[in-house]
């Protein structure tokens, strides 16, 4: 079972920031938070990941709370092309890490004109 909880759907106006929350209250010390998204009729696409510090790349920013029990993915200026299902996944690292990703149902983000 997925170890994260996400709202099933969200709307965002084009050009505004989209803030997608994720709850991972049982996260352990060696688990990272990963975000992927899946645009209709495509495979999932990696967005960003983090351990405890905030992270930013060309696609998005990831804000992780100090207790690491929740995080927020921020798309700073959402466009219609950002309409997709967004998945928040926790996955461990270290010698036992096989790279296995367990997807939940994700959040369907609808960006509206």
Partner 1 sequence: EAGVAQSPRYKIIEKRQSVAFWCNPISGHATLYWYQQILGQGPKLLIQFQNNGVVDDSQLPKDRFSAERLKGVDSTLKIQPAKLEDSAVYLCASSPRGGIAKNIQYFGAGTRLSVL
Q: Which residues bind partner 1 (CB under 8 A)?
A: 2, 32, 34, 41-46, 49, 85, 87, 91, 93, 97-106
- Specify the residue, 6 or 70, whose C-beta has the smaller distance to partner 1: 6
34, 91 in Cβ contact below 8 A?
yes
Q: How far is the CB of 87 from partner 1 (least distance, A)?
A: 6
Task: Between 13 and 39, name the residue whose CB sits nearer to partner 1.
Answer: 39
Could you tell me the smallest distance in angstroms from the CB atom of residue 91 to partner 1?
5
Instruction: Report how far residue 59's alpha carbon sits from residue 66's, in angstroms, rounded to the nearest whole number.
Output: 23
42 versus 53: smaller Cβ distance to partner 1: 42
Please report the sign of the dihedral spanned by the C-alpha atoms of residue 88, residue 72, residue 75, residue 16. positive
Burial class (CB in 10 A: 0-12, 13-18, 19+), 106: buried
Q: Which two tokens stand for residue 76?
A: 């700073």
> Of 21 and 104, which CB lies nearer to partner 1 in the complex structure?
104
Rounded least distance, CB 16 to partner 1, Å: 26
Contact between 14 and 111 (Cβ < 8 Å): yes
State the minimum distance, in angstroms, from the CB of residue 1 to partner 1. 11
For 112, phi and psi rounded to 5 degrees? -110, 145
């Amino acid at each position: 079972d997925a170890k994260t909880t996400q709202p099933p759907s969200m709307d965002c106006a084009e050009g505004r920031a989209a803030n997608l929350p994720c709850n991972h209250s049982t996260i352990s010390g060696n688990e990272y938070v990963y975000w992927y998204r899946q645009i209709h009729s495509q495979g999932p696409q990696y967005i960003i990941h983090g351990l405890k510090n905030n992270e930013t790349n060309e696609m998005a920013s990831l804000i992780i709370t100090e207790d690491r029990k929740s995080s927020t993915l921020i798309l700073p200026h959402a466009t219609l092309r950002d309409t997709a299902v967004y998945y928040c996944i926790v996955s461990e690292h270290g010698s036992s890490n096989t790279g296995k990703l367990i997807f939940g149902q994700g959040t369907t983000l609808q960006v509206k004109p």
